[in-house]
Amino acid sequence: MDRTLKSLSLLLSYPSVELQEAMPEIDDVLTADDRLSDAMQRALRPIVEALASRDIYELQEEYVMLFDRSRTLSLNLFEHIHGESRDRGGAMVSLVETYRDAGFDPVSTELPDHLPVLLEYLSLRSDSEMRDVLADAAHILETLNVRLTRRESNYNAVFAALLQLSGATADQGAVSEMLAVPDDDPTDLEALDEVWQDSEVTFGADPNADCPQVRDMLTKMDVPINPAPAAAE
């Protein structure tokens, strides 16, 4: 297992007492990995220390406000590719099949495209596959890094670390296109209700569409789709 990738997956998971208890070990893993530069290891210190020491309820509230109430910061990667189009359901089915074909059956209530779930899967795969998949998602990772930096969130360093592990440089044109979408206001509950009311994801495969494998799906990440809700059918 790639313990660094597993550690970064945990850093992006919903905060829990168990996660706080594991932070010393996670810190040791990150500081021992020479794939992360000294500067990157220093950049990760604030989020590691925050998750280790801050009040758990404050951490959970912050996490929800960032990642659960903002589609532009969603950790569900297909949100940034397919939005709420019908293609997303088929992509989900194909991704689950890819996980199972590799002997990976995630024990999670999260969607299969949830970034921590994908990172856990990649932690069990080869270095080359890990780099390829993260490179395909580089512009999404960089966009999330920039958005979190603007919000002065220490989570930004996790995305910067993933980019460093990929060895890739994000396509700045794709990043600019994604950043052109205004940030959601997580405190505007009425607006959030309007955004999410049509956002049902169908997991049944579309009989008229092919279901590409995970590499094909992630390769298409270089054509971002604005995360706006589809019109009601």
pLDDT tens sequence across 120-179:
999 999 999 999 999 999 999 999 999 999 999 999 999 999 999 999 999 999 999 999
CA 60, CA 19: separation in Å to the nearest integer? 12
Average pLDDT in the 4-11 region? 98
Using one digit for the tens of pLDDT, what is the confidence trace for 16-55? 999 999 999 999 999 999 999 999 999 999 999 999 999 9
181 three-state secondary structure: coil
Alpha-helical (H) ranges within the chain are 3-11, 17-32, 38-53, 56-63, 87-101, 115-122, 127-136, 138-150, 156-166, 172-179, 189-196, 214-219
Within-domain flag for 71: yes
Report field, pTM of the whole predicted structure over 0.95: no
Assign 83 a pLDDT band (cuts: 50, 70, 90).
low
- CA atoms 82, 149, 40, 1: torsion sign: negative
Residue 67 lies in a domain: yes
Query: Would 123 be classed as within a structural domain?
Result: yes
* 233 belongs to a structural domain: no
Q: Give me the domain span that covers residue 23.
A: 3-221
Q: Is residue 226 part of a domain?
A: no
Residue 146 lies inside a defined structural domain of this protein: yes
* Residue at 228 is within a domain: no
Q: Report the Cα 119 to chain-centroid distance in Å.
A: 8
pLDDT tens by residue, 179-210: 999 988 766 555 555 544 444 443 333 333 33
Give the pLDDT confidence score for residue 91 in this predicted structure. 73
The pLDDT of residue 214 is above 50: no
Q: Please give the tally of structural domains in the chain.
A: 1
